[in-house]
Chains A and B, each alone.
Chain A
Amino acid sequence: MSATSDVIGARLPRREDDRLVRGAGCYVGDLRIEGCLDAVFVRSEAAHGVLRGVDLDAARALPRVAAAWAYADLPFLPDVPPMMDPDSVRGRPWPPLATDRVRYAGQPVAIVVGDDRYVAEDARDAVRADIDPLPVLLDPTDAAGSDVQLFPGSGNVAAEKEFGDPIDGAVWEQATVVVEASYRQQLLAHTYMENRAILVRPEDDGGLTVWVSHQAPHRLRRDIAGGFGLREEQVHVIVPDVGGAFGGKSETWPEYFVVVAAARRLGRPVRWLEDRAEALTGPPHGRGQNQRVRMAADADGRILAYELHIDADVGGYPHTGSFVPMATSMMATGAYAIPQVHVRTRAVVTNTAPTAPYRGAGRPEAASAIERTVDLLAHRLGRDPGEVRRRNFIWPDAFPYDTPTGFTYDSGDYAKALEVALNELDYDGWRAEQARRAAVGEPPIGIGLCTYVERSGAGEEFGAVEACADGSFVALSGCCSTGQGHETSFPQVVAAVLGVEPQRVRLIERDTAIIPQGIGSFASRSMQTGGAALHRAAGRLIDAARQRIAERWAVPVAEVTYEAGVLTAGERSASMADVAAGGVLRADETYAPPEAFPFGAYGAVVEVDPELGKVSVLRLVAVDDYGVVVNPLIVDGQGRGSTVQGIGQALYEDVRYDSDGLVETRSLLDYLVPTISELPPTRFAETCTPNPNTPLGAKGAGEAGCIGAPPAIVNAVADALGLRERDALQMPLTPYTCWSAAR
């Protein structure tokens, strides 16, 4: 296997699986760093209140406890930096340990450090935080209009934006049909297998070594250096194996700063391994939007106008979540050409735990709103939901397509994806079965569709390729695999360009001392952006080798040809290893291709227990277009994983708060995630519309199932129940929800 065409698209087994499946991976919690202490956080048991004081004396008196500190004990503890949107945090500082006020249950008020996690938890239990409760706000729409202010003087709306243009009021009067609906995007937990983890070792030269389970090590390095007055090169961030991230490990969380401060003050390594109880109750939560939609259409089902109002819950601090609903807003129109579009979005602080991107990060919310609404529109018009979608698609000749909300879609063939999905689903066959069941009185089934567009990749990424004297190659990437299989897929890209076997290429990433710069892995960007950077770097490595050989042999560069690792000019030839033996042969690339817009079509068939309302997914079809796919085995895995999480949002998952603002779903006995027993028979298929903006042609892959599966399932349930009004049908579709909605 050496030709380019064979390597791109090869289902190579993942190199990392051997160690990961055997339990031989190395996560932060597996590191054995001499003298390392365990940190545990004392967390607020009130969702909103005035912090009167923290009594640490009893904790400090316990044996084997190295420290128990509140905010005042750690001078120069920097505030948590905003992730994206500095305006939203103005007047809303987030001290990593609470100073005078707590704004969510679980907010850290003190850190205790002990010889191990057992004694640190004993010390935690000995700490008393004195908090006077304040009124609790849990709903973003309520909070936006409340007199209770989380940050007195700054208001609860942290960010407010409009997209598109206000809609001409006449359209609502003149349209044949206008549908309106309200949707709730419930709060979700990221539920990675490995929770958040960080280990900080202060070094003798004043620098730090930081091992952390993270998606963006260079950003974390910048934030730690900036926060603690260090030069970036003094902070060495290493990301070992990571057990899932899903958007919850891109951030610079308050706990990280506190651990850094504690390690520096103690002069000893300190680690914090978040446990499941913390992960399910504290930040980050994902999603959390109240959506209100209105859509007008003519008698043929042509959409005339679409209006979307979003109140997004960003939790007690807007630092990590305020930009997510803006991503929803910009993706509002999905796959459709709609003449009039208006979106008004508010990011609102509440007393839930702060929200952050969660797999899909704003796009599932957008797809859910419009796909549910288009389905409702078709139902109201008495038309087939596929037909109404087809009538409104942006057609292939319209690309590049500027959306009314400010994106430029690169390419797409939405009707083709829908056609493949309907065929794979056997849509007509299920419609016939639906009619048969209705006729004989068997349990009802429903069929639901979703045609989505998403956005992937953003910004630049670093990639470099170096030829080694032993004939191997090293690829360096600024991306950061948290389970995406870069060790396998990135060498494929480089090998394809170089025309060598993938086994001759190995990858280095996730270490800021070796990788000079990087952005990381999120927004489905790794292959689209990081892969494209390596693709270009490999091409430039060939150019550099030809240049060097031309000089060595004193021939024009144009006479030096390259093929499969060998340079040739006339009778002479040399291998890349020969060239590398004469001095470092390496090409560095920083590449910023435009965003891409992957798309697809999902179909679901569900049966609903007519007496108890329990939903069984009988069949799921996922058709995704990721552009050029480098390793289908890995991309299939991404499709399966994200589909499972999509099923979770549709049917099972929900972070539930009681009226005091405490999370009720405190363990995986209460917060239900789908397991193998809940997975339906699922078919995955693809169409391929190459990314026109990069030579590699890859678009993003990794989040599609979270985007496509929930609306397909919800629409199928609405179809099974024959619902005309659907506001009662809110995710997760518990048996009780479906039973109530049908009454």
Chain B
Amino acid sequence: MKPAPFSYVVARSADDVVAALADGRTDVLAGGQSLVLEMNYRARRPARLVDINRVPGFDRLEPDGDVLRVGPLVRHRAFEGDTVPGPLGTLLRRVVHHIAHPPIRARGTLLGSLAYAHPAAEWPAVVTALGADLELTGRDGHRTVSAADFFRGPFDTARRAGELLTELRVPLLPPGTRVGFAEHRRTHASFAQLAVIAAVTLTQGRVSAARIGLVNAADRPVRAHGAEAALLNRPLDDPAITEAGRVAAEQDADPRPQPHADLGYQRHAVAVLTRRALAQARDQG
């Protein structure tokens, strides 16, 4: 479990990174929590790593108007505290404790997780559900891709060769939005078999907006539009929640074969977890 030979370069700026990536054989080293493992298994053999850990400003994490801006070096751990205010902060805090364990959260980065696009990772479904935008930087400058368009399949994204994921912009959730997160996994430190993210805004006791994301329920993160529609203009009561779960399982999920679960079980679990995430949003906000 030793990596194949590679060279290493330290970047001091986004331009350095983009220049390094131009050879098409260089990978970005941020937290390294997935990359290095894959290199040790020789499943990935970059000729060179460009280390972005010393690029000034890449660790920015700040609300800006109605969005939260997240830079490429913001570690998972940053979301454990109360840095991010409001309901979005509550949601991210609930999610982050389900990611691996503390040593990994101290090194791994949110943007790294998005770029890696592991099908069982939580962050891709969170940003998809919340309608976030991702900024990619390449030799031709910046471009913005919506989360909905970014994820294309397991370990497959819209990031082109030579591009660096430079920023995530997540819309802040309006005050009064209630959030929930439910995850199903076999052990504390294992990947999610399935997880559901919910953010529901109530106006005069009825759902005026709903954002629901499914983790590991398809070949890419899913925004459960069907389930969201099932909730609109209804009170967040048990029948509505159950109906949303049913729709998420039948319409939104598109489960793929995985060990220790057939497709029927996976759909069933989508219904259960959607219900649980929505109930948490209602009861614990």
Chain A residues proximal to chain B, CB less than 8 Å: 117-118, 121-122, 125, 275-277, 611-612, 614, 652, 656, 664, 666-667, 669-670, 672, 674-675, 677-678, 734-737, 739-740
Contact = CB atoms under 8 A, between A and B. Distances in A.
Interface residues of B, number: 24
The 5 A-B residue pairs with the shortest CB-CB distance, nearest first, are: A677-B188, A275-B1, A734-B260, A118-B2, A611-B272
Contacts of A611: 268, 272
Contacts, number: 60
Contacts of B259: 656, 664, 670
A117 B5 CA distance: 12
B272 A736 contact: no
Nearest to A648: B187
B260 A736 contact: yes
Nearest to A116: B2
A672 B42 CA distance: 22
B4 A122 contact: yes
A277 B41 contact: yes
Contacts of B262: 736, 740
A614 B5 CA distance: 43
Contact of A736 (B5, B37, B188, B261): B261
18 contacts: A118-B2, A118-B3, A122-B4, A125-B4, A277-B1, A614-B184, A614-B186, A652-B187, A670-B259, A675-B188, A677-B188, A735-B184, A735-B193, A736-B260, A736-B261, A736-B262, A736-B265, A740-B265
B251 interface: no
Contacts of A678: 187-188
B269 interface: yes
Contacts of B191: 669
B190 A672 contact: yes
Given A667-B37, A675-B189, A740-B262, 13 more contacts: A118-B2, A121-B4, A122-B4, A125-B4, A275-B1, A611-B268, A614-B186, A656-B259, A670-B259, A736-B260, A736-B261, A739-B265, A740-B265
Given A125-B4, A734-B260, A736-B260, A612 B184 contact: yes
Nearest to B271: A611
Given A118-B2, A118-B5, A735-B193, A612 B269 contact: yes
B8 to A, nearest CB: 14
A381 B187 CA distance: 36
Contacts of A667: 37, 41
Contacts of A669: 190-191
A669 B119 CA distance: 14
A737 B184 CA distance: 15
Interface string B189-228: 1110100000000000000000000000000000000000
Interface in B238-262: 259-262
Given A611-B272, A664-B259, A736-B262, A677 B2 contact: no
Interface string B25-40: 0000000000001000
A556 to B, nearest CB: 69
A677 B193 CA distance: 17
Contact of B187 (A277, A674, A740): A674
Contact of B189 (A125, A677, A735): A677
Contacts of A736: 260-262, 265
Contacts of B2: 117-118, 121
B275 to A, nearest CB: 9
| Most B CB within 10 A of own CB, among A276, A670, A672 | A672
A715 B191 CA distance: 28
Interface string B168-190: 00000000000000001011111
A672 B186 contact: yes
Given A117-B2, A612-B272, A735 B190 contact: no
Given A277-B1, A739-B265, A734 B188 contact: no
B186 A652 contact: yes
Contacts of A125: 4, 42
Contact of B5 (A122, A277, A675, A734): A122
